[in-house]
Amino acid sequence: MKTKITFYRNKIGITQEDLGKLVGVTRQTIISLEQGKYNPSLELASKITKALKRKYIEEVFKV
Amino acid sequence: MKKQNKNIPPREIARYAFAIFVILLGLYFDYLDLSDSFLGFSSVGSWLVYVGFVMIAAITLQLFYYNKRVVDERMIFVANKAMRMTFLALVVFAFLIIVLDGIKTTTITIPYHLFMSYLICGLMIVYFISYKILLRFY
C-alpha cells in the first residue's frame, strides 16, 4: 500500500519515534508503514491520519 | 514531567498471589509426602516450590524491565503468522516422521518424555525463528 506518511510527517516536523508514540506503535512499525510493507488496520490508519493533522484517511493511504 | 505510578498493577498482584499459592501447594505436597504417588512424578512438592520461586523472580524482573514495552498490531499480526507457520511445520514434520516410520523396517521408538521435550523445544525454536524472519518482511 502506498502511503504519504513520510511527506506529511516531514511537513509537520515530527520524527518516526514521535509519530509512533502519538499513535501507540513502535518506530519499526512506522518504518514498515512508510515503506509500504505493512497494511495497517482501519483503527491505526485513522489514528495516523489524525496525528498527521489530515481530515481523510485517503489523503495519507492510497490503495 | 509526568508523575510515575509506583503501585503494583492488579494483574501482577494476581500473578504474585498465584506464585505464592503454588509454593504453598508445594509445601503441602511435601508435608503429605506425595513423592512417588502423585501421577508418577517424584518430589512434585519440591518442584512446585521451585516453580513458584521462579515465577516470583520472573514477575519481579518483568515489573522492573518490561513494563514500558509496546506491543502493537504489527507484532500481533507477525506473531499470528509465525504461529500458523509453526503449526504448518509441525504437520509437515509429523507427515515426514510417518513416512520415515513406514519406510524403515524397524519402528521408531523413543521414550514419551523425551519425545515431548524434543517436540516442545522444536516448536519453540521454529516459532522464534519464523517470528524473527517475518519481522523483516512486515
Contact B77 A38 (CB under 8 A): yes
Residue range of the domain that includes B51 = 10-65
Say if residue B61 is in the same domain as residue B95. Answer: no
Say if residue B15 is in the same domain as residue B46. Answer: yes
The C-alpha of A12 sits at a distance from chain B's nearest C-alpha, in angstroms, of 24
Check if the interface score ipTM surpasses 0.90. Answer: no
Q: What DSSP string runs through B111-123?
A: -HHHHHHHHHHHH
| B5 within some domain | no
Picking from A26, A32, A40, the nearest residue to B70 by CB comes out as: A26
| B2 within some domain | no
Q: How far is CA B90 from CA A54, B83, B112, B124, B125, in A?
A: 46, 11, 17, 11, 12
What span, in angstroms and rounded, lies between the C-alpha atoms of B101 and B57?
A: 43
Contact A26 B137 (CB under 8 A): no
Please give the interface size between A and B, counted as residue pairs whose CB atoms are below 8 Å apart: 27
**Which chain B residues contact residue A38 at CB under 8 A?**
74, 77, 138
Say if residue B43 is in the same domain as residue B79. Answer: no
Question: Tens of pLDDT along A5-50?
Answer: 999 999 999 999 999 999 999 999 999 999 989 999 999 999 999 9
Has this prediction a pTM greater than 0.80? Answer: no
CATH superfamily of this structure's domain A2-62: lambda repressor-like DNA-binding domains (1.10.260.40)
pLDDT at B2: 47
**Total domain count, chain B:** 2
Contact A38 B138 (CB under 8 A): yes
> Which cell numbers hold the place of B42?
517424584
H/E stretch holding A62 reads strand A61-62
Residue B42 has pLDDT above 80, yes or no: no
